[in-house]
């Protein structure tokens, strides 16, 4: 199955969606947030258009997907189902302040010793990159690995079952890294994660 997928992935993700790629490439080229960055067709991804709120281009990771391609509703939001794959957002690069400091915590009445120190805060630079829009779901894990995601998590009172679009939980980092690599993805590094979580804010 994986060999057949590898043999056809270029045709399924790039050749079959040439018009969508041309549109996405033109949209990124005209976006002031991506000055100096040229988007090329990425094997394994299918352009889904821009999110109506952020204006950022979104892409489907085809090897994580098991159903029809997701469409957008009248508001422009993606309609996702249990079989929908990982949606990646192309984020613009930039400089940002990474890390934290606890000097302000005493002024707010907090115990500085209780605040984890990520000091010193420092300037970092990231290039444009793709990041998943949502947590990996249980069904996406099943599509990627072929295994039951519930095997990692014993039933717990009050907790929803690990199934469908429930976020995956209980899986060790090395297993996640291996599964991502299998479908051409990777876990974000610390800089990428913090830059994305900041969502454009610039305070320490």
**pLDDT over 70 (residue 104):** no
**pLDDT over 80 (residue 112):** no
Q: What φ, ψ does residue 98 adopt, rounded to 5°?
A: -105, 145
Closest CA to 145 of 155, 137, 153, 135: 137
pTM score of the predicted model: 0.86
Max mean pLDDT range (29-38, 63-72, 119-128) = 29-38
Closest CA to 120 of 101, 141, 96, 138: 101
Q: Are 166 and 137 in contact (CB under 8 A)?
A: yes
Percent of the chain with pLDDT over 90: 59
Supply the pLDDT for residue 195: 92
DSSP 42: -
Beta strand pairing status for 57-61 and 87-91?
antiparallel
Mean pLDDT score across all residues of the chain: 87
Closest CA to 27 of 52, 59, 2, 49: 49
Supply the pLDDT for residue 162: 78
Instruction: Return the exposure string of 181-201: e unless at least 16 CB atoms fall within 10 Å of the residue's CB, then b.
Output: eebbbeebeeebebbbeeeee
DSSP 120: S
Supply the pLDDT for residue 105: 52
Distance CA 14, CA 11 (A): 6
Supply the pLDDT for residue 204: 66
**pLDDT over 90 (residue 135):** yes
Q: Which two tokens stand for residue 170?
A: 């209980």
**pLDDT over 80 (residue 168):** yes
CB-based contacts of 164, cutoff 8 Å, min separation 6: 82, 137, 138, 139
DSSP bridge pairs for 91: 129
Supply the pLDDT for residue 113: 58
**pLDDT over 70 (residue 39):** yes
**pLDDT over 80 (residue 92):** yes
């Amino acid at each position: 199955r994986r060999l057949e997928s590898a043999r056809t992935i270029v045709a399924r993700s790039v050749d079959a969606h040439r018009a969508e790629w041309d549109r996405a490439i033109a949209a990124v080229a005209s976006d002031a947030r991506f000055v100096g960055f040229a988007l090329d067709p990425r094997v394994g991804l299918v352009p889904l258009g821009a999110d109506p709120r952020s204006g950022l281009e979104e892409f489907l990771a085809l090897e994580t997907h098991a159903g029809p391609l997701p469409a957008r509703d009248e508001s422009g939001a993606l309609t996702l189902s249990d079989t929908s794959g990982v949606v990646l957002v192309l984020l613009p690069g930039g400089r940002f302040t990474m890390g934290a400091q606890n000097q302000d915590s005493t002024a707010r009445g907090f115990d500085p010793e209780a605040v984890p120190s990520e000091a010193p805060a420092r300037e970092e630079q990231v290039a444009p990159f793709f990041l998943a829009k949502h947590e990996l779901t249980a069904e996406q894990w099943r599509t990627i690995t072929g295994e039951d995601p519930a095997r990692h998590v014993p039933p717990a009172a009050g907790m929803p079952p690990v199934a469908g679009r429930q976020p995956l939980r209980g899986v060790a980092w090395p297993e996640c890294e291996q599964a991502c690599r299998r479908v051409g993805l990777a876990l974000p590094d610390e800089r990428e994660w913090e830059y994305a979580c900041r969502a454009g804010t610039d305070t320490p």
